[in-house]
Amino acid sequence: MMSYFMRRFPTQLMLIWLILVLLVPLLDLAPNNINLDRVLGAPGETSWLGEDDLGRSVGDRLLSGAQVSLLVAFSVMFITLIIGTTIGVVSAWLGGWFDQLIMRVTDVFLAFPGILLAIALAGLLGPGIGNVILALSVVGWVGFARLARGQVLLVKKRDHIIAARSLGTSNVRIIQWHLLPLIAAPLIIEATFAIAGLIIAEAGLSFLGLGVQAPSASWGSMIRDGARYLLVAPHLVIIPAVALFSVVMAVNLIGDQLRDRLDVKN
């Protein structure tokens, strides 16, 4: 029973967050409404998760921040998955000088910690959700490119692919119908883990003031603003931190389960 619960819990938790995010436009939320009579209010009947330093509802801002975090994470994941996979597959398929060039470019990106490069780009581009997506996309494609390249190098010599080339099948059709299905499983796993990393990255940029700007809510900015009142109103930090932890943990556990189910070896 416990084993079944642990297998189902991450998926159910993530579904709850996704449903809440989808319902945000339909809910009567007021994340930016200031109520000076309820400054630093503790969780209670008037607000189920309390109020922040301006009397704004922490619960409303938490859901609004979830919308931002998941929007950034999924947007960047799809962008980097498409770009990185395309570059990696083409690089491995063509080989030669083009493959060497792509590998040197990826080595340059990997020479810098991804989050530091994202911080530098976000600082140059300026704050805002669009610039956060752009900055994280610029540094996020490398992992998908290297994974796709490695997988293509493993399968491009298989008999059915060699036969397809011998029959004059176009490169596009071979990649579309023969290569991509073979390398899809590890890419799906990588995409799942990437979502968790992107949620943390977005929160980190917002914590540093390079992400979503006030008065819009973000889990990172909520933790930053609440840290000043940690001794008198710890719920301002604990609640968004627990939300961030729960989502990242759920995504990572889902990724582990997918890896086991798809039998993807490390």
Give the residue from 66, 52, 63 showing the smallest Cα distance to 235: 52
List, in sequence order, the alpha helices (H) in the chain.
Answer: 2-23, 58-94, 96-110, 114-125, 129-155, 159-166, 171-174, 180-207, 219-226, 235-262
Residue 163 lies inside a defined structural domain of this protein: yes
Residue 198 amino acid letter? L
The pLDDT value given to residue 264: 52
Within-domain flag for 138:
yes
The tokens describing 175, both together, are 């990649």
pTM confidence score:
0.90
pLDDT over 60 at 4, yes or no: no
What pLDDT is recorded for position 158?
85
In angstroms, the CA 207 to CA 135 distance is 16
Sign of CA dihedral 177, 178, 180, 185: positive
pLDDT band per the 50, 70, 90 thresholds, residue 135: very high
Q: Which domain holds residue 64?
A: 53-262
Instruction: Count structural domains, the chain.
Output: 1
In a domain, 179, yes or no: yes
CA atoms within 13 A on the CB side of 138: 17
Q: Does residue 14 belong to any structural domain of this protein?
A: no
Distance CA 187, CA 144 (A): 7
Q: Is residue 169 part of a domain?
A: yes
Cα separation, 81 vs 105, in Å, equals: 17
Determine, yes or no, domain membership for 2: no
Look at residue 7 and tell me if it is in a domain.
Answer: no
Q: What is the pLDDT of residues 165-221, one digit of tens each?
A: 888 888 888 888 888 998 999 999 999 999 999 999 999 999 988 888 878 889 999
Which range has the top average pLDDT, 35-44, 59-68, 253-262?
59-68
Q: Is residue 129 a contact partner of residue 72, using CB atoms and an 8 Å limit? A: yes
CATH of the domain at 132: 1.10.3720.10
- For residue 172 the two structure tokens come to 């596009």
* pLDDT exceeds cutoff 60 at 246: yes
The pLDDT of residue 266 is above 70: no
Which residue would you say has higher pLDDT here, 36 or 222?
Answer: 222
Q: Is 187 exposed, middle or buried (0-12, 13-18, 19+ CB in 10 A)?
A: buried
- Residue 21 lies inside a defined structural domain of this protein: no
